[in-house]
Amino acid sequence: MSARIEYDLLLVGGSPSNLTLAYRFLELAKESGKEFSIAILEKGKDFGSHIMSGAVSNPHVLKKVFPDYKEKGFPIEAECTESNMSVLGLQKKWDMPPKLYPKSFDKRGYLVLSLSYVTGWLANQVMEKAKEVTNVSVDPYTGFSAHKVVFEDGRVAGVAVSEDPKSDDDYVYARFTCFGDKGFISRDVIDHFKLRDCPQIWSVGVKETWQVEEDYAGKVWHTLGWPLLDGTFGGGFVYGMKDKKLTIGMVISLDSPDPNMNPQLKLQEYKKHPWIQEMIKGGKLLKYGAALLPEGGYYSLPKKFYVHGGLFLGDALGVLDVKNLAGIDRAMECGYVAADVLHTALVNGDTSEAALAPYQERLENSFVVKESFQNRYFRWAFIENPRLLSQYLPEMVKSIDKSTPWIGMLKIGFKNPFKASKDGVRSLGLIEGKFDIGPIKYQADFKHIIPAFVPPKFEEPQYEKATIYSRPDAVFFAGTKYHEGNQHIDEFNAETCVACISTYDKLGKVTPCVADCTAEVHRIDIISEVKRHGMSLENCVHCRTCEIVCPEVNLRVKPTSQGSGPDFLGL
């Protein structure tokens, strides 16, 4: 039996939150002179290879952690010089006057980023800092995943780094384990300690990076309207990057009523708009990817941000602010605060649960939780009143194409003078945090699915076929690569899938896992005249959408092994 591998800090996930934590901890340890050990587990083959985000970020926390970030070569794609909130018809685009949308959507002065490159840069900064802080050992383990949480005597003791742990070499233990993942493993800790009363709700981001002929660097658009005109919450974004590159993406909430929503197809429909067609004309697709975003906000936060032996950061905690379209600065702030709390606890030799309480206290007094509280009803406003997106937005979209959006607004008022006015006051009050309706509780995303839902039909815009990619073709641009035998999606009961397939087959539809997969993983096979669920796991981009939309809660996406999965570098 080999010796037990134990660190002072075990960071699960090479995320911006955990890497900020590691860097700040090194700074503090340099001052204290105490000896510590840190391990960083990253399931991707490289830091950043599994990280994807449409990123226009406020650099205020970056400046705090790295005052000389520009001199250190921080990878900036552009500084936002033009910020637009736009509504898309099927043919035209309307850039809304700034007075009509929240100030948080004005991104001028923010940094346009590729989060994959940022993550790689952060990892390099940690390793360079570690060279000068000789009293701290930092072991980065790329291609290593946390497959199971180890609980000992009521505390988090570490993780298993093998799917089938048989020896002590398959475990990594720590005095404190920090979870910065997107729920792959942190959810087990939250469930174990029963920390979440209100379910987390999710959206999926689908994104492409294009090489184009014109220079759009620094120009930013966030859009509503086409092609999300069926009541689904979400929108599109176009960010101009350096070297004549363009980021085009959509964020689509997974509480859609449509069981066959198909996010990757929605992105292709988005690109068919004449405005985007003009930008990508003669261009070349470079990369494609997809990732989940936790968007429940304040009421989906765990009751405690820490447990005995561990704490949650970034997406594991759920600090993304949908109204502000902000997550990176919040994740980094989590890491910055956690480093101070953990360093103090370890210097004092205190590994009790109480030693981590200041982490939550400090976050609750920071912009992270304060703004989350202010915006706590943002998503709820659209759930509470589906007319906002299913009736009022389509009416406005029609008027953009035919005449002017102001006509559409007048029509909404004329058709439903009392209801529209009441809806406007109520919804705006919730969006701006002016009403207090007490705690809310979301339903799990899949519970919103209406199996017989029929989305509205629209005549598609004209488009250049060469700019549109099928889902199988899109997988190529995600750079997926899997080692043999990598079984990272569990199907709990095959007969449950058979029954689900039958339900949707009778409605002329496929199951949500097949339709909403952002790659080409889930399929329906006919075996002995029975339709069964099959999977092409080698295509998976590891986004977990299938698990979230499964009506029977019959799937679980697990961390991959050996660095397998997509390659999102450049997204």
What is the Cα–Cα distance from 275 to 93, expressed in whole angstroms?
7
CA distances from 85 to 58, 221, 377, 441 (A): 17, 6, 21, 29
435/139: higher pLDDT: 139
* Bond from prior residue into 140 cis (ω within 30 degrees of 0): no
Strands 6-12 and 36-42, by their bridges, are parallel
Report whether pLDDT(411) > 60.
no
Report whether pLDDT(406) > 70.
no
* Segment 455-482 mean pLDDT: 94
Confidence of residue 532 (pLDDT cuts 50, 70, 90): very high
Domains of the chain: 6-58+116-197+297-374 (3.50.50.60), 378-439 (no CATH), 474-557 (3.30.70.20)
* Segment 393-404 mean pLDDT: 87
Given this model, what pLDDT does residue 420 score?
Answer: 62
* Segment 7-14 mean pLDDT: 98
Distance of CA 429 to the CA centre of its chain: 27
Q: pLDDT > 90: what percent of the chain?
A: 88
* Segment 516-524 mean pLDDT: 98
- Convert the pLDDT of each residue in 237-270 to its tens digit: 999 999 999 999 999 999 999 999 999 999 999 9
93/1: higher pLDDT: 93
Other beta carbons within 10 angstroms of residue 553's beta carbon come to: 12
DSSP assignment, residue 389? I
- Convert the pLDDT of each residue in 295-347 to its tens digit: 999 999 999 999 999 999 999 999 999 999 999 999 999 999 999 999 999 99
- What tokens appear for 67 in the block? 């005052």
Identify the bridge partners of residue 523 per DSSP, sorted by sequence position. Answer: 534
Given this model, what pLDDT does residue 414 score?
Answer: 46
- Convert the pLDDT of each residue in 334-375 to its tens digit: 999 999 999 999 999 999 999 999 999 999 999 999 999 999
What is the Cα–Cα distance from 199 to 436, expressed in whole angstroms?
20
Mean of the per-residue pLDDT values of the chain: 94
- What tokens appear for 87 in the block? 């509504």
CA distances from 45 to 49, 165, 173, 538, 565 (A): 7, 21, 22, 16, 8
Task: Identify the weakest region by mean pLDDT among 138-142, 188-192, 459-463, 519-523.
Answer: 459-463
DSSP assignment, residue 326? B
DSSP assignment, residue 45? S
What is the Cα–Cα distance from 569 to 368, expressed in whole angstroms?
27
**Residue whose token pair is 């909404």:** 412
Confidence of residue 99 (pLDDT cuts 50, 70, 90): confident
Report whether pLDDT(415) > 60.
no
For 400, residues 6+ apart whose C-beta sits below 8 A from its C-beta are 87, 88, 89, 92, 93, 94, 225, 408
Contact 161, 171 (CB under 8 A): yes
Q: pLDDT > 70: what percent of the chain?
A: 96
DSSP assignment, residue 248? E
Given this model, what pLDDT does residue 163 score?
Answer: 83
Contact 553, 545 (CB under 8 A): no
The packing angle between helices 16-32 and 328-347, to 10°, is 30
What is the Cα–Cα distance from 571 to 554, expressed in whole angstroms?
30
Contact 233, 255 (CB under 8 A): yes
* Segment 399-418 mean pLDDT: 64
What is the Cα–Cα distance from 22 to 130, expressed in whole angstroms?
9
- Collapse the DSSP code of 560 into the 3-class scheme (helix H, G, I; strand E, B; otherwise coil) and give the result: coil
DSSP assignment, residue 392? I
| Total number of residues shown for the chain | 571
Contact 7, 37 (CB under 8 A): yes
Given this model, what pLDDT does residue 167 score?
Answer: 77
Confidence of residue 422 (pLDDT cuts 50, 70, 90): confident
How is the chain split among helix, strand and coil, in percent rounded to 5?
Answer: 35, 25, 40
Contact 250, 208 (CB under 8 A): no
Half-sphere exposure of 27 (CA within 13 A, CB side): 14
Report whether pLDDT(418) > 60.
no
- What tokens appear for 312 in the block? 């949650």
**Residue whose token pair is 């200041």:** 358
The packing angle between helices 393-402 and 405-415, to 10°, is 140
5/228: higher pLDDT: 228
Q: What is the DSSP string of 163-210?
A: SS--SGGGEEEEEEEEE-SSSTTHHHHHHHTT--SS---EEEEEEEEE
What is the Cα–Cα distance from 20 to 314, expressed in whole angstroms?
11
- Convert the pLDDT of each residue in 114-162 to its tens digit: 999 999 999 999 999 999 999 999 999 999 999 999 999 999 999 999 8
What is the Cα–Cα distance from 131 to 404, expressed in whole angstroms?
61
What is the Cα–Cα distance from 562 to 45, expressed in whole angstroms?
7
Amino acid letter for position 374:
Q
Which helix (H) or strand (E) segment is 420 a member of? helix 417-431
- Convert the pLDDT of each residue in 215-245 to its tens digit: 999 999 999 999 999 999 999 999 999 999 9
Confidence of residue 1 (pLDDT cuts 50, 70, 90): very low
> pTM of the prediction?
0.95
- Convert the pLDDT of each residue in 67-93 to its tens digit: 999 999 999 999 999 999 999 999 999
Identify the bridge partners of residue 252 per DSSP, sorted by sequence position. Answer: 204, 234
- What tokens appear for 156 in the block? 């988090």
Report whether pLDDT(557) > 60.
yes
For 442, residues 6+ apart whose C-beta sits below 8 A from its C-beta are 198, 199, 200, 201, 255, 296, 299, 300, 379, 380, 383
CA nearest to 263, candidates 520, 439, 437: 520
